[in-house]
A and B are shown apart, each in its own frame.
Chain A
């Protein structure tokens, strides 16, 4: 490993691998450091939904807050374009399907929420429309009788999260990326206009520690972004949220769209191989150690009631799923920011320290990766991203940064 780089990327998820692709494509000298296997955390464990309609989690806190969350829409609009071109860009089959998505409503309150959501989306030019229950059932014959109305967005769909990160990574490696897996970033220090990183590699020989130097650091550590920032004496309001997901055994084609629920936690779709993925943001819980303490490093544990709850909503909306086999439930950890908007930009208190992530960064991953790369390379993003800049949290770094 050479020790001087233009950019060191911390984290080998979709954001880190995507940025590695764009940066090396432009000829930058890049090192990507991943503490485990690439694409094994949230980016390989997520549901693969590309959802652009405002999600349940953004709506559940009511009017004013929801209007703030609508600031995500410009990024969503860019993401639609990025996904449409991604398979060609990477010359890889990623199982990208954009056959449209429905956000269903069951009750009167749901229908009102759907209308409210639609009004905000229209204001921000997100192309969605409203369907009655019958219109929705004509479009999606598998929907059950409880569906009273639905929001429709023709650009929604899904891709295979198992394939996207590795495809970016393969292409980046061909373009000269240096990759260090099973290597953890343990220290981050700014000296002059360079960053010095301490890396610890765990291999058969034990622990190897080394130092590398770079002009720029990209913190793409997902749910661990706050920890990585803290190594540089910075605080980011990013919180690790354990989530769980379910999948059925493969079955004949049944569900042709991405289906979500406007007031209950549900996202459901059938993937290329025939499995039906059922999720929607149901929390898991952090693992416990032998003494009953909490173990943040271990895989989170699924919550029984939430498996039942999640499968139950699915069966309410699409009754035919009752006949499928529930094959597996798994958990992963996602990063959520304090205002639910992504973090994308340079930390003003720490020149050369960039962050990208937070929220639904599978949907927005390709876009975040592309924009942050341009910002690092050219000093500006082709799309205004000030709304997502870590500058909005500068107040909490007043104490920290000067000590670094």
Chain B
């Protein structure tokens, strides 16, 4: 084991992220004789969608259902393969491309301290995270992402609370509500920002055989179960405030219009101890950005997506990407993207020739094209109203919770310093986005608020620059602990 500064451990292909994309890529690369290292900060692979229970914990009936069939099969095919160098409980915190075919150095924060791995080529498949919503009270304990609530239920069959309100625009919240209900929770309400007809109109789109879309049919089935159990499912509504002293005691829910403007006179209060917010996802492109890869903004497809070519190569030499960081498209698409990216990486290190890669990629590309069409409908169906966060936040709402920057103080700084026109400059002046999460939670709102106040187009304020390490590391671990 080596640390940064000392000569690094060497591998052929380092895969960051053991979700669907990373697992499928690892399988294919190992089958072609590559030296593969898989890095994941979780104790077990499987990624977000599987979120496996820890080894030794028995969970009966763990993730039944057709939605998970393909990813579970891939998991079974790779998880116990000893030819993979597994680096679990290890976060990739820095990527340093060496340029000109010299590969990439990765820094890993591991239980044994900071270590360096030198890879001939890297595949980044770190997936996505939930998008928060900045409404008054969003930082109260008890306000969580719906997906975070789900991972408790998935991996430990644990109900993380008593009475829940779910609010958002993504159909995932129906699935989560139903899983919570089955696990014994009370669901006070589920609020969708969309009006029902908006979704129905899309569902009628003839070009897509939506009935075949497993995720949507799972959501529809969940809705019937919830309604049958007497849970109110409200359309055209959003949570607008969380109430509570130490933690959440109630959710205020109000109708919202198509721009996200709430009608507070018609607000209702639901007593609850948990609020699950479900406005979809933002891709975890911070490592790619730290390494200097080109990204492009897409509000609908997940934020700063990493740009790539037909082989899923990023703009940085020897840096390949797959899965959600190329655009939200779901687990099945992530599997296929992982396969194409692996073929691209194998070509790069000479483990497969161009014709061989092309032949294998053909059928994968066809499956992927179909999945991308489905994904496109799903992302359109689940888009939150454009300016919801801007309408909901009040002066005291925290814009950046890590650095305690309120909306009012941010706006004042922006108004007082007219020469600031980029998100990065706003961060430097206000500290918003400078904290532990490096702007994962607030970066988007920092940019949007600045753009609104300056009359700039969405995305014009640019992405926050990402510095290494992308996750905080105990300093003693970084320098090597004294014995």
Which residues of chain A have a CB within 8 Å of any CB of chain B?
37-40, 44, 162-163, 166, 169-170, 173, 179, 181-182, 204, 248-250, 273, 287-292, 298-299, 301-302, 304-305, 307-309, 311-312, 314-315, 321-330
- Across the interface, A288 reaches (CB within 8 A) one of B100, B419, B476, namely B100
List of B residues within 8 angstroms of A323 by Cβ:
474-476
**B307-321 interface mask toward A, CB cutoff 8 Å, 1 = contact, 0 = none?**
000000001110000
Q: Which of B316, B467, B475 has the most chain A CB within a 10 Å cutoff?
A: B475
Chain A nearest CB from B315 CB (Å) reads 8
**With an 8 A cutoff between CB atoms, is B99 at the interface?**
yes
Q: How many angstroms from the CA of A179 to the CA of B421 in the assembled complex?
A: 13
Residues of chain B in range 130-186 having any CB-CB distance to chain A below 8 Å: none
Give 13 new A-B contacts, CB below 8 A, not counting A290-B317, A325-B475: A37-B421, A39-B425, A40-B425, A162-B431, A287-B292, A304-B4, A304-B5, A307-B4, A308-B3, A309-B5, A315-B475, A325-B474, A327-B472
Q: Is chain A's binding surface mostly helix, strand, loop or mixed?
A: mixed
Chain B residues whose C-beta falls within 8 Å of the C-beta of A328 in the assembled complex: 438, 467-469
When chains A and B are docked, how far (Å) is the Cα of A387 from the Cα of B476? 44
Chain B residues whose CB sits within 8 angstroms of the CB of A326 once the complex forms: 469, 472-475, 478
Say yes or no: A325 contacts B473, CB within 8 Å: yes
A14 to chain B, nearest CB (A): 13
**Is the C-beta of B102 less than 8 angstroms from some C-beta in chain A?**
yes
Asked if residues A179 and B419 are in contact (CB atoms below 8 Å), the reply is: yes
Contact A248 B99 (CB under 8 A): no
Known interface pairs A37-B424, A288-B99. Does A305 touch B476 (Cβ–Cβ under 8 Å)?
no
Contact B100 A292 (CB under 8 A): yes
Closest-CB distance, A330 to chain B (whole angstroms): 5
A279 to B38, CA, bound (A): 33
Asked if A249 and B317 sit within 8 Å, CB to CB, the answer is no
From B419, B428, B435, B476, contact of A169 by CB (8 A)? B419
Contacts of B94 in A (CB 8 A): 304
From 64 to 120 in chain B, residues with beta carbon under 8 angstroms from any chain A beta carbon are 94, 96-102, 105, 107, 116
B478 touches A181 (CB 8 A): no
Alpha-carbon gap, A273 to B436, bound state (A): 13
B479 interface contact, C-beta 8 A = yes
- Report B-chain residues with C-beta under 8 Å of the C-beta of A38: 419, 425
Q: Are B429 and A324 closer than 8 Å at their CB atoms?
A: no
Beta-carbon contacts under 8 Å, B431-483 to A: 431, 435-436, 438, 460, 465, 467-469, 472-476, 478-481
Query: Smallest distance from the beta carbon of A208 to chain B beta carbons, Å?
Result: 16
Which one, A37, A163, A322, contacts B422 given CB within 8 A? A37
Of the A-B pairs whose beta carbons lie under 8 Å apart in the complex, a sample of 21, sorted by A's number, is A37-B421, A39-B425, A166-B417, A169-B417, A170-B416, A182-B421, A204-B460, A291-B100, A292-B100, A302-B96, A302-B468, A304-B96, A304-B107, A308-B478, A315-B479, A321-B475, A323-B474, A325-B475, A326-B473, A329-B468, A329-B469
- Bound Cα distance A166, B429 (Å): 8
Alpha-carbon distance between A307 and B99 when the two chains are bound, in angstroms: 20
Closest CB-CB distance, B69 to chain A, in whole Å? 40
> What separation, in Å, do the CA atoms of A289 and B436 have in the docked complex?
30
A274 to chain B, nearest CB (A): 10
Q: Contact mask B386-414 → A, CB, 8 Å, 1/0?
A: 00000000000000000100000000000
B210 at interface, CB cutoff 8 A: no
Question: How many angstroms from the CA of A327 to the CA of B431 in the assembled complex?
Answer: 14
Q: Which residues of A contact B474 (CB under 8 A)?
A: 322-326
Most chain A CB within 10 A, of B94, B105, B422, B476, is at B476
A290 touches B316 (CB 8 A): yes
Alpha-carbon gap, A335 to B447, bound state (A):
31
Asked if B252 is at the interface of the complex by the 8 Å CB criterion, the answer is: no
Check A308 against B100 for contact (C-beta < 8 Å): no
* Bound Cα distance A254, B339 (Å): 50
Contacts A273-B431, A288-B100, A304-B4; A327 near B424 (Cβ below 8 A):
no
How many whole Å from B348's CB to the nearest CB in chain A? 14
Question: In the complex, what residues of B have CB within 8 A of residue A37's CB?
Answer: 419-422, 424-425
Q: Are A315 and B476 closer than 8 Å at their CB atoms?
A: yes
Nearest CB on A from B483, distance (A): 13
On chain B, the residues within 8 Å of A314 by CB distance are 475
